[in-house]
Amino acid sequence: MLNLTNQQFKVFEVIKAHLLNNGFPPTRAEIAEILDFKSVNAAESHIKALVKKGVIEKVPGSSRGIRLIDQLSGIPLIGKIAAGTPITAIENVEKHIPNNPLTQNVDFFLRVQGDSMIEAGILEDDLVGIKSCNYAENGEIIAARLDNEVTLKRFKKEGNRAFLKPENAAYSNIEVTGNQDFSIEGRAVGIVRESIS
Amino acid sequence: MLNLTNQQFKVFEVIKAHLLNNGFPPTRAEIAEILDFKSVNAAESHIKALVKKGVIEKVPGSSRGIRLIDQLSGIPLIGKIAAGTPITAIENVEKHIPNNPLTQNVDFFLRVQGDSMIEAGILEDDLVGIKSCNYAENGEIIAARLDNEVTLKRFKKEGNRAFLKPENAAYSNIEVTGNQDFSIEGRAVGIVRESIS
DNA sequence: TCAATAACTGTATATAATTACAGTACATGT
DNA sequence: ACATGTACTGTAATTATATACAGTTATTGA
């Protein structure tokens, strides 16, 4: 999204706002009027610049033929986590998913690897919606980082010991000790399954 | 949504699809071309009818000046099914969920009641995305209507017998016989879980 | 049987909109 | 010093689009 000049950003915002308020993109003349340009061509050349910079798309010959590329809005989907990177670092982002009412509490999605949570109804390749936080209540399903791997497990305290508990009888509990590099990335608040078999 | 004639509904669907695919509404000419009308005025008069019936809004003088009236866009979420009604009948619709790329193949969502599919990772209160169809391949998870109740089960053929198979050892298979009022509403193509416990 | 509505074709026109071209002015990096 | 980019004004042509009007055919409820 960067590289945009002030004016280009304003034009981008006008397009976005018009879409939100009206349900369709503005014309050059409408952009010019809103930003008080005296020539429609001012809008036109800003649009060309925005296309060049990859933040919008044009449909030539079509009235109002403007599409936002808007890759940076929406909720990031985290694929594999590169060692040593913050979880939402750009290199970890597989794609972005537009916001919608079903995902209002979700900060990012994690794609599930493996079947360790199968008994909680969470299958491989499911997208787990995660709300960022750095603590967890007993019994919550959380995304935790253990020695630079992010894993989804149920968090259990027993006395003064803490465990990451898979929901699959085939796996055993992982005890969290001071020897490990342990941190909580967030708690699971939803699931999206894109295909069913 | 009712009160719409078949053709009016088609026009409405074309507008919705165009918005989803292109980010802006279609022109009269585009609607006419898609639906194979030879006159743009066919589209125009359907639009007028849709406005009259309150499902779209027009911005006079504006190219592509069509807005969907909110509630009817998006994907219907079906709660309880009233006996004897078509599944997507308006009285069955709990709310509408905005379209998004994760739900591109979904015609409607069903809210899961009960735990009969728990071993397939489908839990109570999950929203199951359904793609409408009236047949099923062996082994697919389908939404089927049996004597005016809609149920989600795995469809199994064995020889010339057909079964609806729960994915929960506590339940037993249901055989589909000619004595029942049986029909297939669609097949499951996705899951959304709004909360996790 | 009449009026109303649906569902179109076909023609026409005013206006909405894109887009090219010709300028001006200023800033920046090479 | 010069090309390149930003940021506009102004004009104009072509095309895209909305929308009115005049018909036709078929269906439906009063």
* Domain locations along chain A: 6-68, 75-192
Residues of chain A with pLDDT under 50: 1, 72
Q: Say whether pLDDT at B169 is over 90.
A: yes
Helix (H) or strand (E) holding A90: none
* Nearest residue to D7 via alpha carbon and C1': A42
Fold of the domain built from segment(s) A6-68: Arc Repressor Mutant, subunit A (1.10.10)
- What does the alpha-carbon distance between residue A112 and residue A166 come to, in Å, rounded to a whole number? 13
More confident position, A62 or B104? A62
Reduced to 3 states (helix: H, G, I; strand: E, B; else coil), residue A15 is helix
Q: Say whether pLDDT at B26 is over 90.
A: yes
* Nearest residue to D10 via alpha carbon and C1': A39
- CB of A22 nearer than 7 A to strand C: no
More confident position, A91 or B150? B150
* Nearest residue to C18 via alpha carbon and C1': A61
Place of tokens 């342990």: A182
Contact with chain A for residue B125, Cβ under 8 A: no
- What does the alpha-carbon distance between residue B96 and residue B102 come to, in Å, rounded to a whole number? 15
CATH, range A75-192: 2.10.109.10
Helix (H) or strand (E) holding A178: none
Looking at residue A88, what is its pLDDT? Answer: 60
Mean pLDDT of B60-70: 88
Residue of A28, A66, A196, A197 to mutate for B, most B C-beta atoms under 10 A = A196
Whether A196 sits inside 8 A of B193 (CB atoms) is no
Within residues 91-120 of protein chain B, the ones with CB less than 7 A from nucleic strand C are none
Strand partners, A153: A142
Write out chain B in H/E/C secondary structure: CCCCCHHHHHHHHHHHHHHHHHCCCCCHHHHHHHCCCCCHHHHHHHHHHHHHCCCEEECCCCCCCEEECHHHCCEEEECCCCCCCCCCCHHHEEEEECCCHHHCCCCEEEECCCCCCHHHCCCCCCEEEEEECCCCCCCCEEEEEECCEEEEEEEEEECCEEEEECCCCCCCCEEECCCCCEEEEEEEEEEEECCCC
Determine the nucleotide nearest to A43 by Cα–C1' distance: D8
Q: Quickly give B81 CA vs D5 C1' distance in Å.
A: 62
Q: Say whether pLDDT at B35 is over 90.
A: yes
Mean pLDDT of B26-45: 94
In A75-160, the DSSP E strands lie at 75-78, 93-97, 108-111, 127-132, 141-146, 149-158
Q: Quickly give A69 CA vs C12 C1' distance in Å.
A: 39
Q: What angle do CA B126, A114, A89 make, to 5 degrees?
A: 90
Least confident range from A22-26, B10-14, B51-55: namely B51-55
Residue of B100, B133, B152, B155 to mutate for A, most A C-beta atoms under 10 A = B100
Contact with chain B for residue A69, Cβ under 8 A: no
Mean pLDDT of B44-71: 88
Check: CB of residue A127 under 8 Å from CB of residue A193: yes
Q: Say whether pLDDT at B86 is over 80.
A: no
Task: Give the pLDDT band (50/70/90) at residue B11.
Answer: very high
- Give tens-digit pLDDT for B116-142: 899 999 999 888 888 888 888 999 999
Task: Give the pLDDT band (50/70/90) at residue B72.
Answer: very low
Reduced to 3 states (helix: H, G, I; strand: E, B; else coil), residue A193 is strand
Q: Say whether pLDDT at B8 is over 80.
A: yes
List residues of B with catalytic annotation.
Answer: 116, 153
Least confident range from A53-62, A157-166, B43-52, B98-107: namely B98-107
Which amino acid is located at A151 in the chain? T
Task: Please state the separation of Cα B130 from the chain's center in Å.
Answer: 6
Determine the nucleotide nearest to A48 by Cα–C1' distance: C19
The domain B6-72 is classified under which CATH number: 3.40.50.1370, 2.130.10.10, 1.10.10.10, 3.90.1150.200?
A: 1.10.10.10
Q: What is the pTM of this model?
A: 0.65
Closest to B68 measured CA to CA, from B89, B53, B87, B86: B53
- What does the alpha-carbon distance between residue A197 and residue B20 come to, in Å, rounded to a whole number? 27
